């Protein structure tokens, strides 16, 4: 299911250019030196990928507990359902309930740290900007984290979030290199495609959890476990 992380990242970037696009546009990069600018943008992305990977490890450790308890298939189905809900329910509905309130101080600290980095220059500041950016709350990142939670082990969970971040790089880089292209109407049009693809990815996770014995898509129940006695037919 790791390939779905890339797809989800690519689709999420349609949403990101509206939410995080302004942050990318404000990066203190050298616009007169294309080569240096490219390296600076990549350092910023490296910071985001680091943040996503850390989150993947945290959720992977949590998911490992479910895997050892034999709940991996059920967790995959739940993750798919949550992805679909996040994709279909408007963000303003989630905003009413303010799910991030319990960690409001932490989020405020992240935002403050992000703001401070814009006052600095250099690769360290660019990496830190990406790092803080990666930890900012986002509905589609939450959806990706549920996908990481449903992976078989912590390494896969970290890889899932890393690949999710890689999927966001093309469009997020385009925002920096082609600022004038992504006008508000275009961003709104692109964002409309996000729910449809996110729902498809959620359905893939549900199918995976059903154990339909479809190779690489929905492995059967017996292939999900390692036993002392071979399962021969």
**pLDDT tops 50 at residue 224:** no
Give the residue among 66, 219, 63, 82 at the shortest CA–CA distance from 144.
82
**pLDDT tops 90 at residue 57:** yes
For residue 157, give both structure tokens.
Answer: 């969970």
3-class secondary structure, 233: coil
Give the residue among 182, 101, 99 at the shortest CA–CA distance from 139.
99
For the residues 134-162, what does the mean pLDDT come to? 85
Confidence label for 203 from pLDDT (cuts 50, 70 and 90): confident
**What pLDDT, on the 0 to 100 scale, is given for residue 226?**
40
Q: What is the helix (H) or strand (E) element at residue 190, kind and residue range?
A: helix 184-191
* Per-residue pLDDT tens digits for 15-44: 766 666 666 777 777 878 888 889 998 999
Confidence label for 82 from pLDDT (cuts 50, 70 and 90): confident
**Cα–Cα distance between 198 and 200 in angstroms, integer?**
5
CB–CB of 145/51 below 8 Å?
no
**What pLDDT, on the 0 to 100 scale, is given for residue 28?**
76
How is 67-130 classified by DSSP, letter by letter?
HHTT-HHHHHHHHHHHHHHHHHS-HHHHHHHTTTGGGHHHHHHHHHHHHHHTT--SHHHHHHHH
Residue carrying the six token digits 């034999």: 70
């Amino acid at each position: 299911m790791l390939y779905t992380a890339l797809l989800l990242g690519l689709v999420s970037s349609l949403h990101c250019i509206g939410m995080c696009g302004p942050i990318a546009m404000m990066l203190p990069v050298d616009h007169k030196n294309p080569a240096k600018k490219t390296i600076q943008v990549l350092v910023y992305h490296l910071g985001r990928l680091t943040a996503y990977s850390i989150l993947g490890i945290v959720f992977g450790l949590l998911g490992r507990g479910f895997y050892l308890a034999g709940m991996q298939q059920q967790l995959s189905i739940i993750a798919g359902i949550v992805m679909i809900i996040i994709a279909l329910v408007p963000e303003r509905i989630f905003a009413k309930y303010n799910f991030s309130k319990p960690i409001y101080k932490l989020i405020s600290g992240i935002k403050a740290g992000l703001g401070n980095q814009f006052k600095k220059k250099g690769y360290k500041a660019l990496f830190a900007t990406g790092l803080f950016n990666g930890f900012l709350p986002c509905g589609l990142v939450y959806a990706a984290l549920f996908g990481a939670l449903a992976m078989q082990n912590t390494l896969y969970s970290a890889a899932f979030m890393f690949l999710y971040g890689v999927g966001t790089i093309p469009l997020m880089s385009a925002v920096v290199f082609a600022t004038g292209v992504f006008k508000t109407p275009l961003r709104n049009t692109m964002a409309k495609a996000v729910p449809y693809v996110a729902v498809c990815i959620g359905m893939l996770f549900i199918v995976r959890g059903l154990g339909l014995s479809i190779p690489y898509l929905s492995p059967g129940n017996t292939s999900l476990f390692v036993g002392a006695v071979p399962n021969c037919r």
